């Protein structure tokens, strides 16, 4: 594939959730997730990636790591290079080592940050820059270490402040096209995306800001109807997916896969 757009992909890595997923990190209260429902939501997600034209490699579950299905947090990937990150939650810090063999099989270079903490959920790749959001999971030392690795592979990094009411930068924003982002009101007000067109989700659909553009479709949470209408009004082919149970463990659509273009 040509891979001329930042959201053009033909490969992905996912990991099947284990039964231990019910013990995953949770910031909010309420009922715990149903493991069978999470499996069903994950399977539908994998199917949507395949329908969008991606070859999806499915890694086996890791019962010792309840959050391991969220493969985007311990790594960042591009066409030829991968970077192992250092998740900020202590229970997740060994996930980078666990996914490293799969990355070494698929990428020419696998780099690593050696200090601080950085979650992939705090990294937004755009055509112009790679935004690294500071958060409870990504500190300044880790962000600077990641910026140095990105510079080594020809990528420009911008370290930005994530609003205090968000877990990860991409909890509050998504790439829609090369000029447009879907954002929460608080992230729009932060002013860190000057030069981009911003589509702002309703205050009662903040979770809808985490969508996933894959080739010519936009994956969106099915429980955010106004956000779906907003995306469709922008001319996108929206594929709604259930993420209700996955959302109970502080997750969304971007974090469940690593995506790249092999000829990009």
d(CA 47, CA 108): 27
Identify the DSSP state of 161. Answer: E
Catalytic residue among 42, 173, 234, 255: 255
Q: Is the dihedral of CA 34, 40, 42, 44 positive or negative?
A: negative
Q: Could you confirm whether 173 is annotated as catalytic?
A: no
Token pair belonging to 30? 């309420």
Give yes or no for a contact between 170 and 144, defined as CB atoms under 8 angstroms apart. Answer: no
Burial 170-193 (b: 16+ CB within 10 A, else e): bbbbbbbbeebbbbbbbbbebebb
The alpha helices in the chain, defined as continuous H runs, are 35-51, 95-106, 140-152, 185-190, 225-233, 244-247
Token pair belonging to 167? 């877990």
d(CA 186, CA 163): 7
Catalytic residue among 42, 168, 173, 234: 168
Give yes or no for a contact between 121 and 137, defined as CB atoms under 8 angstroms apart. Answer: yes
Total Cβ atoms within 10 A of residue 21: 26
- Listing DSSP states for 197-234 in one string gives EEEE--GGGGGGG--EEETTEEEEETT-HHHHHHHHHT
d(CA 173, CA 133): 11
Report the catalytic residues. 168, 255
């Amino acid at each position: 594939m040509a891979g001329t757009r930042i959201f053009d992909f033909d490969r992905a890595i996912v990991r099947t959730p284990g039964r231990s997923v019910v013990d995953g990190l949770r910031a909010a209260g309420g009922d715990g997730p149903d493991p069978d429902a999470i499996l069903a939501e994950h399977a539908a997600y994998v199917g949507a990636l395949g329908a969008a034209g991606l070859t999806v490699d499915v890694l086996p579950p890791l019962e010792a790591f309840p959050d391991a299905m969220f493969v985007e947090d311990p790594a960042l990937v591009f066409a030829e290079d991968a970077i192992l990150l250092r998740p900020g939650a202590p229970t997740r810090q060994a996930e980078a080592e666990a996914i490293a063999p799969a990355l070494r099989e698929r990428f020419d270079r696998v780099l690593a940050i050696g200090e601080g903490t950085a979650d992939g959920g705090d990294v937004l790749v755009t055509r112009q820059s790679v935004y690294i959001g500071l958060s409870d999971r990504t500190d300044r030392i880790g962000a600077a270490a990641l910026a140095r690795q990105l510079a080594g592979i020809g990528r420009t990094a911008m370290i930005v402040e994530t609003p205090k009411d968000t877990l990860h930068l991409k909890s509050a924003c998504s790439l829609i096209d090369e000029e447009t982002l879907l954002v929460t009101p608080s992230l729009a007000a932060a002013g860190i995306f000057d030069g981009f067109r911003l589509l702002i989700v309703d205050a009662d659909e903040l979770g809808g800001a985490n969508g996933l553009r894959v080739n010519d479709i936009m994956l969106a949470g099915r429980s955010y109807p106004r956000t779906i209408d907003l995306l469709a009004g922008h001319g996108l082919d929206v594929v709604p997916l259930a993420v209700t149970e996955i959302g109970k463990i502080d997750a969304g659509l971007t974090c469940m896969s690593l995506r790249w273009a092999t000829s990009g």
